A and B are shown apart, each in its own frame.
Chain A
């Protein structure tokens, strides 16, 4: 059974009659790390939001864990991470991480134990009593990831989570995320507009084209696991980056200049 199964999905926004997505068919299997990449307006974030039932599809079916997307959302089948960490600044770090557990009605002792585990997982032990604004951007994002992992969702939906971070922090968090992904044996759908990030993280990169948003192609990333900093310097890495870039060029991404090609 696929973790995500999308068939013949169309999404139009009535305002301005914009077709954001059309004819999307996508299967994501358990344990995959799939990146969605494409120029602005290709609907990659919208696709992620449709999977998470944050916005309904206009046509087609979206299933998560074999259930309709709204059912899966109510069953807490996925965790979501946004570009800005969306931490509640009136809550401490620990309280932010325990927020989803409160929704599930976990008792205090169980929550505390789980929060401690999670803060350890993202290497923020000792920061539980801090408030979000006292942390750096990278640390805030780690809190958001810990929060998304709180109830051990089978699926992690990430919408450009590292987009606002500096390059060095981003690369470090990439490796940490892969480590978490391996340990939790979860499935990740990751929206990005960085080619190298997509290739480095993913087992499969889905390239999307704009107006209307479609899937233009996909690249299976056969780089060995676990990925390390050396991966970024491997010849195969550059070949795959080139492959993704050429697919993107085919969809007219370079004219828009909205995809970073930051491999040097």
Chain B
């Protein structure tokens, strides 16, 4: 209870400090008229309260409130990202399990798995759209493309990082490779898996947002970003507010993984990241 209170207090203080820093920076640059690295005004850096006020106002005349529009978009993007995250996690995990059982496959495939991530997602996304037709499925695949890689690399590491003695113990029971996998390798790799899932969770949101662009999907946060980008000089706060919502979505995904880790991973304190 006390620990929770302390944590909430720390969080509040941090958020307030960051907000204070933002407004202080604004104030210094506006009053001194400094133009480096860029001039500060209501267009380049709107006041925080302007941003949050924009959320409570209609995004266009007679339209619904901006917050309503953005939450709808966020929900839309979240579904794509979740599908992509799940797909990427399953594929990434399966790849790692395959690779840990075959040195040959590891040597043959790992370089290409690494190479896959050197291709910019912006170059891959249009191809996926061509293959799968524009839709939430293509967006999910693009998100999965960003998601699977950390899962594969970390899980592989975790599956390999078993204690030799533990492996011998399993051998003394004449355990099958399947039993070694599920009773030893997978449980001992969970901390590695969850480190990867934390990276992947936020990456999947980014992947979904980027994936919406070549698919010309307008219902999600990607569409909202494109749209408010066009009107930035008129209503800069709208784009900022969209970014706040996008960040909140990424953080939600991250926290969901953290919560799952708390439930699933039961390891000695020194093994928990």
Contact = CB atoms under 8 A, between A and B. Distances in A.
A49 B179 CA distance: 21
A88 B179 CA distance: 14
A263 interface: no
Select the residue from A49, A90, A103 with max chain B CB neighbours within 10 A.
A90
Interface in B25-69: none
A74 B171 CA distance: 9
Contacts of B168: 49, 54, 80, 82
Select the residue from B174, B266, B271 with max chain A CB neighbours within 10 A.
B174
A88 B183 CA distance: 9
B183 A86 contact: no
A36 B171 CA distance: 22
A86 B171 CA distance: 13
Select the residue from B166, B169, B171, B269 with max chain A CB neighbours within 10 A.
B169
B179 to A, nearest CB: 6
B268 to A, nearest CB: 4
B219 interface: no
Interface string B159-182: 000010110110111110001000
B187 to A, nearest CB: 5
Interface string A25-53: 00000000000000000000000010010
A146 to B, nearest CB: 14
B contact residues, range: 20 to 34
Contact of B265 (A79, A90, A133): A90
B113 interface: no
A73 B267 CA distance: 30
Contact of B179 (A52, A74, A89, A103): A103
Contacts of A99: 173, 183
Interface of B: 163, 165-166, 168-169, 171-175, 179, 183-184, 187-188, 190, 265-269, 271
Interface of A: 49, 52, 54, 73-76, 78-80, 82, 84, 86, 88-91, 99-100, 102-103, 131-133
Q: Which 6 A-B pairs have the closest CB atoms?
A: A133-B268, A89-B268, A80-B172, A74-B174, A90-B187, A103-B173
Given A79-B172, A82-B169, A90-B265, 9 more contacts: A52-B172, A74-B174, A78-B172, A86-B169, A88-B188, A90-B267, A91-B187, A99-B183, A102-B183
